[in-house]
Amino acid sequence: MTNEHDYLRKARTLFEMAESVAGTPAADTYNERAMALCAKFGIDQAEARRRADAPEQAPIVSEVIRLQGKYIPLQADLLHAIGTALHCATIYSAFGKCVMVYGTADHILRVQLLFGSLTTQMLIGAANSVPEPPFDHHQVRAYRRSWIIGFIRTIQARLTQVEEAAVAGSPGTSLMLRDDGDRATETLRRENKGSIVSSKTVGARDGRGEHHGAQAGARADIGNTAVRGRPALGR
């Protein structure tokens, strides 16, 4: 039987290949193959937990994800969106330019793989997006930030819908995943008591940019990361 970590190692390799040709049909092919491996990992983990004679709660662990490059706060927003959809909780440190992700080990691994792929797609898409002329530097900046916001919102909605559809016929699995998310949030709050502050993305916004980013998010390849292996949403 293939070791579960073999799936993840192969998936990471495919994601790296996709990033090297981002925005091309070849990248879509690599992404789809990587997502299939990621889904296989998630399915195996969930099924093993459900089949256990005396199932125990999977422990909540944490992982620090370092952010780099442009749009650091918006990258943190993307990571939060993915984590929320995949039953994790996140807290962002602007000082350290990092995000702490709380969740079960299998959920965090799925979050990491998706974040790496979608961040690349998001940053390349934003860099290639400009408003209709005439425009100046400030308008381009606002447009691209808005594009990213629209992209993130759509990605979270798609991932959430995929997860919900995957467990529609299995109330037990649905309750288990909901419990995973609740325990992740409780652990985050307990370990960061007094240091959690509300935040929101600031800066000028452009409605057209946000709309175009949402369209790109709807087209982005999220593959099949659901725990039960149902087909992902169409593009």
The pLDDT of residue 172 is 74
The pLDDT of residue 169 is 74
d(CA 115, CA 190): 25
DSSP class of residue 89? E
Number of other residues whose CB lies within 10 A of the CB of residue 123: 19
CB crowding 14-40: b at 16 or more within 10 Å, else e: bbebbbeebeeeebbebbebbbbbbbb
**Cβ neighbours for 155, distance < 8 A, ≥ 6 positions apart:** 78, 81, 82, 118, 217, 220, 222
193 touches 132 (CB < 8 A): no
The pLDDT of residue 134 is 63
- pLDDT averaged per 10 residues, the chain (length 235): 65 79 72 65 65 71 95 95 93 89 92 89 85 73 89 85 76 82 94 64 44 58 48 33
